[in-house]
């Protein structure tokens, strides 16, 4: 099957060990496999750098997470963790300016892998001027770290900012742990050493099951990549946390494989995106070879449901009906159920699998998953 750039997805590439090394020169697969180590190292770093001291002055009126791209996903996850049980709202700013209502009663958590992201640095500088409490996570000795430390806030440094390790999506867990630990110190979420260790063990299990040497027919990461290939993915989460994982998968598909996707959250997606099942990219012959190209054929929709055990009963009904409707329209459906007792562990189960699938999809199309030529060119044009 052909991809957006004219490349062809070759399933056999995913079991070619020599190719997986050659096609991934920056080591994106190794980076995904390091997720458990990132969790443990980030927890130690956050504790050692005093992130928990944000709780000494009591709870803020609101938490504002400033970030761009994968760094901003941290805010989505934190908001999902806090949404129903915490008395403090969490909002994410993906731009240059703070909302007008943000002030000295609020906590701003600034997240930037490079520590130099223009938008995040601008928002952090504005937060300093308004007298907000600050927490930061990112590369040390950068404009962001200087702003946070000058304001007296804790800063959790994330090292190794060269190569693929300098890309936010490759170090998501290093960036995510400090903000969640800050929220735990404020009594907004239950997340301590034991919870983060459970997350790390879940990610280690995924690393074993999705390792490159594991053949595609038993490797869930490779299987999901093959289900994604040649489709226009519609990715729905059945809870706020699952929706954050859906958002993350859509972002990774774009960055790793240059692959477009639609993401949403039930029940809202069942009111709006469901109409795509009657559109020009809807079903094809259910007996057709999924890996066969047909002249002039466009990619076809495939529904990917990221399921959370804590979904609302009404959402369960919407999900069941949507699956039946998709099948009636000839739209294939893949369902992925989150495993784990703690919400953060369940997010890790979904996000970790999706990370592997995205990288394997890129490699199946013959693409370097660390390449981002269009993004680099755009930034160069903006800076001119």
Mind giving me the DSSP string for 238-302? Answer: SSHHHHHHHHHHHHHHHHHH----EEEETTGGGTTGGGGGGSTT----TTS-TT---TTPPPEEE
What's the confidence (pLDDT) of residue 170? 87
What's the confidence (pLDDT) of residue 288? 55
What's the confidence (pLDDT) of residue 2? 43
Nearest CA among 271, 266, 273 for reference residue 234 = 273
33-194, superfamily in CATH? Glucose-6-phosphate isomerase like protein; domain 1 (3.40.50.10490)
Q: Give the DSSP letter string of 306-328.
A: EE-TT--HHHHHHHHHHHHHHHH
Residues of the chain with CATH 3.40.50.10490: 11-28+201-373, 33-194
Whether 55 and 186 have beta carbons less than 8 Å apart is answered as yes
Angle, helix 343-364 to helix 70-82, in steps of 10 degrees: 150
What's the confidence (pLDDT) of residue 3? 45
Whether 356 and 210 have beta carbons less than 8 Å apart is answered as yes
Whether 258 and 267 have beta carbons less than 8 Å apart is answered as no
The CATH number of the structural domain formed by 11-28+201-373 is 3.40.50.10490
Query: What distance in Å separates the CA atoms of residue 319 and residue 133, rounded to the nearest whole number?
Result: 41
Is the preceding peptide bond at 267 cis, omega within 30 degrees of 0? yes
| Average pLDDT along the chain, 384 residues, taken 10 residues at a time | 64 96 93 95 96 91 96 96 91 96 97 95 98 96 96 89 63 95 95 96 97 96 97 97 97 94 95 90 62 63 95 94 94 95 95 97 94 71 72
At a CB cut-off of 8 Å and minimum separation 6, what does 70 contact?
A: 113, 167, 168, 169, 172, 175, 248, 251, 252, 255
What's the confidence (pLDDT) of residue 294? 54
Query: What distance in Å separates the CA atoms of residue 45 and residue 155, rounded to the nearest whole number?
Result: 9
Q: Are strands 63-66 and 90-93 parallel, antiparallel or unpaired?
A: parallel
What's the confidence (pLDDT) of residue 162? 47
For CA atoms 22, 23, 26, 31, give the dihedral sign.
negative
Query: What distance in Å separates the CA atoms of residue 83 and residue 65, rounded to the nearest whole number?
Result: 14
What's the confidence (pLDDT) of residue 98? 97
What's the confidence (pLDDT) of residue 151? 93
């Amino acid at each position: 099957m052909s991809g957006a750039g004219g490349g062809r997805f070759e399933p056999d590439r995913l079991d070619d060990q020599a190719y997986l090394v050659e096609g991934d020169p920056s080591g994106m697969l190794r980076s995904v496999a390091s997720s458990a180590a990132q969790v443990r190292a980030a927890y130690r770093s956050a504790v050692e750098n005093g992130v928990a001291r944000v709780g000494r002055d009591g709870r803020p009126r609101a938490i504002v997470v400033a970030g761009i791209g994968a760094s901003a996903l941290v805010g989505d996850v934190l908001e999902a963790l806090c949404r129903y049980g915490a008395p403090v709202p969490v909002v994410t700013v993906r731009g240059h300016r703070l909302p007008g209502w943000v002030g000295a009663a609020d906590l701003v958590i600034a997240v930037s892998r490079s520590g130099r992201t223009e938008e995040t640095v601008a928002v952090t500088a504005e937060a300093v001027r308004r007298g907000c409490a600050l927490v930061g996570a990112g590369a040390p000795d950068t404009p962001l770290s200087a702003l946070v430390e000058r304001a007296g806030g804790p800063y959790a440094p994330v090292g190794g900012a060269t190569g693929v390790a300098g890309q936010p999506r490759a170090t998501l867990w290093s960036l995510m742990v400090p903000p969640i630990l800050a929220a735990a110190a404020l009594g907004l979420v239950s997340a301590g050493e034991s919870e983060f260790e459970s997350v790390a063990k879940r990610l280690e299990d995924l690393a074993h099951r999705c390792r490159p040497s594991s053949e595609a027919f038993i490797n869930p990461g490779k299987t999901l990549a093959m289900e994604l290939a040649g489709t226009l993915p519609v990715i729905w989460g059945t809870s706020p946390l699952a929706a954050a994982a859906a958002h993350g998968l859509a972002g990774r598909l774009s960055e790793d494989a240059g692959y477009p996707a639609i993401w949403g959250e039930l029940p809202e997606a069942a009111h709006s995106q469901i109409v795509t099942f009657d559109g020009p990219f809807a079903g094809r012959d259910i007996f057709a070879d999924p890996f066969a190209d047909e002249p002039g054929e466009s990619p076809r929709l495939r529904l990917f449901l990221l399921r959370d055990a804590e979904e609302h009963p009404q959402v369960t009904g919407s999900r069941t009906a949507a699956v039946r409707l998709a099948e009636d329209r000839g739209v294939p459906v893949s369902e992925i159920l989150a495993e784990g007792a703690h919400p953060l562990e369940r997010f890790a189960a979904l996000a970790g699998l999706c990370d592997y699938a995205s990288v394997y999809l890129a490699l199946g199309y013959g693409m370097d998953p660390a390449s981002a030529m269009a993004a680099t060119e755009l930034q160069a044009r903006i800076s001119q």
